[in-house]
Structures are given as structure tokens and as C-alpha cells.
Amino acid sequence: MNCCGPNRRTVLGALAAATLLPLARPGVVRAQPGSVIATDLEVVTITAESAILTWTTLGPNANGDPVPVETDAEVWLGPADGTGLRQVFADPGPTAYHYAEITGLEPGRRYRFEARSLGVTAVPALNVATRLPNTPEASGEFTTPVPPPGRLLRTIALCNDVHYGEEISGLIAAGLPPGVRQDPGLAPYPEVMLAAILDDLRRPDRAADQLLLAGDLTAEATPEQVRGVHRALAEWGAAEQDWFACRGNHDRPHLGGDYAGCAPYADHFDCWGESFGPRQQLGEFEVGELRLLAVDTTELDGSGGSIDRPQLDRLREVLLADPDRPTLVFSHHPVTAESGWTNIAGPGFVLNSANSAELQSLYRSAPGVFLHHSGHTHRNRLTRPDFPIPVEFLEVAAAKEYPGGYSLVRLYEGGYTVNFYKTRTPGARRWSARSRGEYFGLLPEYTLGSTADRNHTVPRDLSGLVPA
């Protein structure tokens, strides 16, 4: 486990006059003893051997307004059937945006925990998602899962909705609701968040064999945005070998003089296609025995989803030629009817019903398909297929804003696990905390998802896959 660290009294003494960092204006004020609030506690990730907790510390500025305050961080943990807790994580900080990863846990065991800063116990935010009685945040307990049997074969990272080039986060239409901007002088938040994901995926504890990006890589697919996001990904790895991308509605061909230097498409110009591939063309990739299929579900104009007939026909041809091959499909738009009636924009925001029915019927004839990953809704959500098929339909929260991260799919011989991770660089943690105020503070209710949406295990025979 991550434990020990500096003496707690030394830490508290050094932080007795912690520095407060205002959200929107310059200036430094001092915290008053006993004024710190530890809030927004979330148990984000639970694996067989680890757990990740995040929280924020606040205190009053000179005007009495709550602002982030830098403190230490501790986690105390013990088996739920035991008699006490012991310190398993200590970070003298100082930071206001706490990220505590506990390792060395036992699979299939229930644990009790407390997260603390300056001796104050962290509590969940005032949102339903973390205050239901059976949630880890409210109960102070979590259970580690048991991984699938067999060897770990490959790890695939899933992310989406980078919105490279975006300057205001959280807008829906006509400037509403009020959006959130990056603090002055800091790097643009889409660049901060993408860099944090790529940094995570370079580290041994997160190392992914491949990265799948399910659309909306850019804000509006200008030449500069396309070049910028492609350059960042190319510096991380090789296209169609280390990372694979499909188009999102923000990446569609556009009209106007800003795009006139790009390849023409109908009466539009397709800047994204010049770097990433033609519109409505199926991406077909193989990594070992695993098949990856990237479906372009974008319409020429609009935010809804559709698949043109030639692409659907090609998808059918590919799947039915080898129907039992383990296959992961990804597209920008979610597929199921449940996704349509549970997302805030409604059924018109997902793949249209005719395409959805045909796609799911096709999956019934191709039993090798085990997972369909999508973005677009900016939330962590598992939805049920419209009729019984053994395919998981998984939406992953946006990379660009709270909760700000990616999911890792770890493939074993006897199944796979899914775990969502927030990014952990200081800049990413700061922006994630800032952007959770979108939608009048209701963003966490919609985007974080349940513990099971973010962390779960699926039994499946994947023994035919070759280890990476």
C-alpha cells in the first residue's frame, strides 16, 4: 500500500497557514485555523487491488467566500470486518485538489475508509450520485472486485470528447447555460486534459496497449484544431497502431472561409478527413486477434447520429466474414433506446432508431462483438441493448471537463474489467474541479455515473486472444 510519509504533526504545523487560491481573480489570502472544509469526496476507481479517491479543500477568502485552499491529504483504511483503520496514504501536499491512490488491496474484500485534510474528514458533495446510502462516499465502504480468471492479455484505453480548440466549456446553445473558462494565464483546458490522459497512459501503472478515441477530438474541426490534436496524438504514438480515432459531430465537414483550404466534401470542406480519414468510412483494424471497428455515425449537419448504407453494408460484410472473432466497436453516438431517453438532449442526440435496430441485429449474428464504446453524452453510463444480445454498450465521460478522464478495459482470458480514471496532473485536477460547476453545479449528477457504470467486471471467453 501507499503509506507512511512525513510525520502528521510536522505536516499540520507546516500547513497551519495554508495558501488559498481564488478561482477567478488574483491575490493570496491566508486560511484561518479550523476553517477548512473537505468536500466533493468521490471514490472514482475501484479495481481488484486498488482504489482512487478525490476531494477538494475549501476555506474562506478575505470576503468570506469559499475558495480552494491548499492542504495535506490522508486516507485511513481497514477491512470492514476489522476493528480499526490505519493510515495507508499520506501526501503533505500542499494542494486543494486531492488525488489519493491506494494500492495493495485484496480482491473481493470489503473495506472501510476515511479521507482527511488537516484532520477534517472529507464528505461527498451535495449531489445524489454520491449520497445514496449504498454508495462508497455515503457509506464509507467499498468492495474490491474479483478479476476474471486467466492471464491479462491486453489493456485498451477508451476516451472521447477532447474538443481541442474549445474556449468555453458547458455551453449548450446561444451561450446558455453559463459556461466556464480556463483561469487567465493557464494553458487551454482541452490541451491540459488531453496531455494529462497521454501522460497517464505512458506510466507503468496505467500503460495501455492501444488508445481508442470515440470522436469530437476537435471543437469545430478548423485546420489549426485538427493539426493540433493530431500532432499531440502523433507525439504519443503511431496512428492506427497505437491509437485509433473515429469522427464525432464536432469533427464534421464545415462551411465557410475558415475551411476553404481543406478538401471539398459536397458543398462543405473536410479538414478533419485530411488527417484522420474520409467521412462515413468504416475503420477496420486488427491488434493481434482483437478486431477494432471504428464506425462514423456523424451527419453532415447536425448533432444526431446516422450510418450511411455503404458503411453499414461494409460493417455487415466484415463481421459476418468472421463472426466469432473478439471485436470491440466504437462510434461517437450511443446506440440504444435507453441512451436516447436518459440523456439530457433526448432521442435525437443518439444513433437514429432504424440504424440502431439494424446494428444490434447485426451484433446478434456476430457473437464475437463484446463491447460498443461511445461518447457524445459526456457521461459514464452503461445502457441495456434493445433486445437480448451479449454486447455491452458503454458511454465514457468527456476527456475535456469534469470528471475528466478515460476508461481502461483490461482483457483477460476469462473476461474483462472496465475502470474509469480521472486524470491526475495538477492542471487537470484543477480544471476538473473548476468545471464541475457547469450546468449550475448539476454536472456531477449527470456525468460521473454510478460506481458500477465506472467500475465493473464482465465474464467472457476471450481465451483466443494473443497477449500483447
Per-residue model confidence as pLDDT tens digits over 282-295? 999 999 999 999 99
CA distances from 466 to 32, 69, 160, 162, 392 (A): 58, 49, 27, 31, 22
Instruction: Give strand ranges (E) for 135-223.
Output: 141-143, 152-159, 210-214
Spatial separation of the C-alpha atoms in residues 284 and 292, rounded to whole Å: 6
Spatial separation of the C-alpha atoms in residues 457 and 257, rounded to whole Å: 49
Residue among 98, 135, 132 nearest 115 (CA): 98
Residue 213: what pLDDT?
Answer: 98
Task: Note the pTM of the prediction, 2 decimals.
Answer: 0.92
Instruction: Give strand ranges (E) for 379-424.
Output: 381-383, 392-395, 405-412, 415-422
Question: What SS3 class is residue 361?
Answer: helix
| Torsion of Cα atoms, 448 then 453 then 457 then 460, to 10° | -130
Residue 99: what pLDDT?
Answer: 97
Say which amino acid occupies 369: V
Residue 21: what pLDDT?
Answer: 34
Q: What percent of the chain has pLDDT over 90?
A: 85
Residue 3: what pLDDT?
Answer: 35
Is residue 134 exposed (0-12), middle (13-18) or buried (19+ Cβ within 10 Å)?
exposed
Residue 34: what pLDDT?
Answer: 73
Say which amino acid occupies 3: C
Residue whose C-alpha cell reads 457504470 in the numeric block? 453
Which positions of the chain have pLDDT values less than 50? 1-31
Residue 26: what pLDDT?
Answer: 32
Assess contact for 254 and 165: CB atoms under 8 A.
no
Question: What SS3 class is residue 381?
Answer: strand
Residue 13: what pLDDT?
Answer: 26
| Torsion of Cα atoms, 219 then 222 then 224 then 227, to 10° | 80
Residue 5: what pLDDT?
Answer: 31
Residue 30: what pLDDT?
Answer: 37
Residue whose C-alpha cell reads 479550523 in the numeric block? 34
Peptide linkage before 188 cis (omega within 30 of 0): no
Residue among 119, 68, 60, 126 nearest 97 (CA): 68
Residue 127: what pLDDT?
Answer: 81
